[in-house]
Amino acid sequence: MLNNPFCYTPSPAIVEAARDLTARIDATPALRELFAEGKMLGVLEVEPPDQVGGDASVMPGSDRASRFLYAFSGLAGGSAFVEGFVPPVFAWTREDIQAASPEDSRRLQDWLFEQYIVANGRGERRSIRQIFADRGLVPPGGTGDCAAPKLLNYALQHGLTPLAIGEFWYGASPAREVRHAGAFYPACTGKCGPLLKWMMQGLAVAPNPLESDAHWSIAEPVVRYEDADLLVAEKPAGMLAVPGRPVPGVPPRRSLQDWLSTYCGQAVSACHRLDMDTSGLMVFAKTAQAHATVQQQFEKREVTKAYLAQVGPGPRALESGARGKISLPLAPDWYDRPRQLADPQHGKPAVTEYEVLQTLSDGSALLRLIPHTGRTHQLRVHCAHPAGLNRPIIGDRLYGGIPAVRLMLHASYLSFRHPEDGHRLFFQSDIYFPELQSSDQ
């Protein structure tokens, strides 16, 4: 069964193939030059053609008996064709554009996406423009040029059975995105989301764990405080904080808000948010007045919050007791939600204080993080970005963290004024990544 490209841990075979490809590029000056800018590369393991009566000559590269296909996203050194990599879905030329002679850029893009014909596991073929149009969408520029659709399309067009897929970064991290050399990343949601879902129809593909309550092993929430106005509870990693948007054909996920409403026998509302991947303390209101009062404290930054995080090894040294501040403006990556970009020009201010609590023998470190702003994925980006700590949080599937049983980020401290009488409430969570087994802890 093919792993789901939107949430996966790369198989050992894919990891080894990625290392082999990286070594080949490093050892070949011409390839090093082509990919010097930094590039997302893809690996697809397929059933060896000679084992299924296929034609081994369809495998690009000198090793015709190989069971791996390779691809790169976009262009490499301005070229869509590089020996040893699968070809693009469609390679247009200036002559093609002149012959098409569309009247404006919108018509030109429509024409181009009509030429991008892809296959799916049912043997059907359809243009990218039509695939998106069927869902009431317009494909963003560059759709179909990412590594994953190139790989799947080539395999399906040549009768090869996909077994495992992975996309990883080669080279230096770009200035805005968080990409770490050698780290694996999920397929993007904007360009590849609708496209890959159509292409995978008819294939045996693992379900996306992010679309079910099977995402990590979700424990039961723990209620830490309750009165007539408030509830404070610890959210398990992998549980939604509030109900998500309905997805046709996908059963609704349970959220902490739903769970607490059932627990106390009345509707409650979240006064703030935590990422699904993050565990820890949250406050919920039982009345509209309590909700407005506490939420206003969050908006005015009168609430004190702190998080515990474990970051993996990295190039930046972190000494126990070290403190610092990260100021890195953030903006949404509209083509790959919910990822965020570091954007000094258009991003909103985001400030995080950090303290190194402990360094571990495996090169990882335990941190206390105090956000002074509340941007989406702020702590994750500030830890992972080269202009931040350059040390992704372990288990961070979006920003290059070492694969783990969960995201090692926990909301451990919360303090705010009670909405009724104004006295200060303090909450401290002593639970710290119980899933992680380490002698250093």
The CATH code of the domain that includes 404 is 3.30.2350.10
- The token pair at 320 is 């126990």
Residue 362 · residue 401 · CB < 8 Å: no
Query: What is the residue range of 31's domain?
Result: 12-206
What pLDDT, on a 0 to 100 scale, did the predictor assign at position 318? Answer: 93
Model confidence at 439: pLDDT above 50: no
Residue 247 banded pLDDT, cuts 50, 70, 90: low
Model confidence at 371: pLDDT above 80: yes
Q: How many CB atoms lie within 10 A of CB 112?
A: 22
- Please indicate whether residue 100 or residue 417 has the higher confidence score (pLDDT): 417
What pLDDT, on a 0 to 100 scale, did the predictor assign at position 187? Answer: 96
Reported pTM: 0.88
What one-character DSSP code corresponds to residue 188? P
Cβ-based burial of 1 (10 A; exposed 0-12, middle 13-18, buried ≥19): exposed
What pLDDT, on a 0 to 100 scale, did the predictor assign at position 409? Answer: 96
- Is residue 132 located within the same domain as residue 223? no
Tell me what the pLDDT averaged over the chain comes to.
90
* Candidate list 134, 229, 258, 275, residue with the active-site label: 275
Tokens 């054909």 label which residue? 249
Model confidence at 100: pLDDT above 80: no
Q: Give just the sign of the alpha carbon dihedral 124, 128, 129, 133.
A: positive
Residue 324 · residue 316 · CB < 8 Å: no
How many independent structural domains does the chain possess?
A: 2
Residue 248 banded pLDDT, cuts 50, 70, 90: low
What is the rounded CA–CA span in Å between residue 296 and residue 311? Answer: 32
- Is residue 228 located within the same domain as residue 198? no
Residue 231 banded pLDDT, cuts 50, 70, 90: very high
Residue 438 banded pLDDT, cuts 50, 70, 90: very low
The percentage of the chain sitting over the pLDDT mark of 90, rounded to a whole number, equals: 75
Q: Give the end of a domain, one of 160, 178, 206.
A: 206
Q: In the beta sheet, which residues pair with residue 154?
A: none
Q: 7 in a domain, yes or no?
A: no
Q: 2 in a domain, yes or no?
A: no
φ/ψ (deg, to 5) at 380: -65, -45
- Is residue 111 located within the same domain as residue 16? yes
Q: 6 in a domain, yes or no?
A: no
Pairing outcome for strands 365-371 and 279-285 = unpaired
One-letter amino acid identity for 94?
A: R
- Is residue 286 located within the same domain as residue 308? yes
* Mean pLDDT computed over 187-205: 96
Q: Give the end of a domain, one of 149, 180, 206.
A: 206
Q: 439 in a domain, yes or no?
A: no
Residue 99 banded pLDDT, cuts 50, 70, 90: low
Instruction: Give the CA radius of gyration of the chain.
Output: 24
What pLDDT, on a 0 to 100 scale, did the predictor assign at position 313? Answer: 94
Model confidence at 163: pLDDT above 90: yes
- Is residue 21 located within the same domain as residue 169? yes
Model confidence at 252: pLDDT above 80: no
- Please indicate whether residue 41 or residue 58 has the higher confidence score (pLDDT): 41
Q: 438 in a domain, yes or no?
A: no
Give residue 144's region: left, alpha or beta (phi > 0; psi -120 to 50).
left
Q: In the beta sheet, which residues pair with residue 332?
A: 340
Q: 434 in a domain, yes or no?
A: no
- Is residue 24 located within the same domain as residue 132? yes
Q: Output the CA–CA distances (angstroms, integers) from residue 106 to 98, 129, 140, 225, 249, in the order listed.
A: 15, 12, 11, 56, 32
Q: 280 in a domain, yes or no?
A: yes
- Please indicate whether residue 25 or residue 103 has the higher confidence score (pLDDT): 25
- Is residue 17 located within the same domain as residue 95? yes
Residue 111 · residue 97 · CB < 8 Å: no
Q: 112-126, 163-177, 423-437: which has the minimum mean pLDDT?
A: 423-437
- Is residue 26 located within the same domain as residue 169? yes
- The token pair at 67 is 């069971």
Residue 254 banded pLDDT, cuts 50, 70, 90: confident
Q: In the beta sheet, which residues pair with residue 157?
A: none
- The token pair at 300 is 């005015």
- Is residue 200 located within the same domain as residue 302? no
Model confidence at 68: pLDDT above 90: yes
Q: In the beta sheet, which residues pair with residue 166?
A: 43
What pLDDT, on a 0 to 100 scale, did the predictor assign at position 101? Answer: 62
Q: 238 in a domain, yes or no?
A: yes
Residue (of 307, 278, 439) closest to 364 by Cα position: 439
- Is residue 186 located within the same domain as residue 239? no
The DSSP line for 220-265 is PPEEEEE-SSEEEEEEPTTSBSS-----TTSPPPPBHHHHHHHHHT
Residue 331 · residue 348 · CB < 8 Å: yes
Residue (of 258, 371, 351, 360) closest to 308 by Cα position: 371
Q: 86-95, 336-345, 363-372: which has the minimum mean pLDDT?
A: 86-95
Q: Output the CA–CA distances (angstroms, integers) from residue 24 to 32, 62, 154, in the order listed.
A: 9, 12, 22
Q: pLDDT tens, 284-301? A: 999 999 999 999 999 999
The contacts of residue 313 (CB under 8 Å, 6+ apart) are: 362, 363, 364, 391
Model confidence at 64: pLDDT above 80: no
- For residue 110, indicate whether it is catalytic: no
Model confidence at 239: pLDDT above 50: yes
Residue 213: half-sphere exposure toward Cβ, Cα within 13 Å: 12
- Is residue 142 located within the same domain as residue 220? no
The contacts of residue 265 (CB under 8 Å, 6+ apart) are: none
Q: Give the end of a domain, one of 206, 233, 266.
A: 206
- Is residue 31 located within the same domain as residue 142? yes
